[in-house]
């Protein structure tokens, strides 16, 4: 297995309060080719501070594999679909990985920026 050094792919972590919400977000990202793969893990236990109170909650983690250049679009889409006021959306660059897997991520994501078609005026 060959490994390659790259910063062109990332893993984005998103936490949700329900498995159904995690699935909705994951499916949307895959269908829209903003991500090649999304793993849903959980429930996991999260302990965090929110509004000056320590919370202890069961959540679901989505591990999203995508192109680094798509991060802004992934974050925007997650925020549109997410129920949290301040959703966790953080990315880590993949420093090294199996070349065929990293190529698969790139092949299964759409890096083209969507633009509106201009129509010719007569």
Per the prediction, the chain carries an average pLDDT of: 89
Q: Look at residue 121 in the predicted model and tell me its pLDDT.
A: 43
Q: pLDDT digit string (tens) for 28-79?
A: 999 999 999 999 999 999 999 999 999 999 999 999 999 999 999 999 999 9
Tally of domains within the chain: 1
Domain range for 15 is 3-107
Establish if 119 belongs to a structural domain.
Answer: no
pLDDT at 112: 66
Q: Hey, CA dihedral for 19, 92, 48, 45, is it positive or negative? A: positive
Instruction: Answer whether residue 122 is part of any domain.
Output: no
Give the domain CATH number at 64: 3.30.70.120
The answer to the question of residue 99 being in a domain is yes
Q: Tell whether 116 is covered by a domain.
A: no
Secondary structure of residue 81 in the 3-state scheme: helix
Q: What is the pTM of this model?
A: 0.85
Q: Is residue 51 part of a domain?
A: yes
């Amino acid at each position: 297995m060959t490994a390659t050094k790259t910063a062109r792919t990332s893993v984005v972590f998103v936490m949700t309060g329900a498995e159904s919400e995690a699935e909705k977000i994951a499916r949307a990202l895959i269908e829209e080719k903003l991500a090649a793969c999304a793993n849903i893990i959980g429930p996991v236990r999260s302990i965090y501070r929110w509004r000056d109170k320590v919370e202890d909650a069961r959540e679901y983690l989505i591990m999203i594999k995508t192109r680094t250049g798509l991060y802004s679009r992934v974050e925007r889409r997650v925020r549109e679909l997410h129920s949290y006021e301040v959703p966790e959306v953080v990315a880590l660059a993949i420093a090294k990985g199996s070349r065929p897997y990293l190529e698969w991520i790139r092949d299964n994501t759409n890096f083209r920026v969507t633009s509106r078609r201009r129509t010719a005026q007569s």
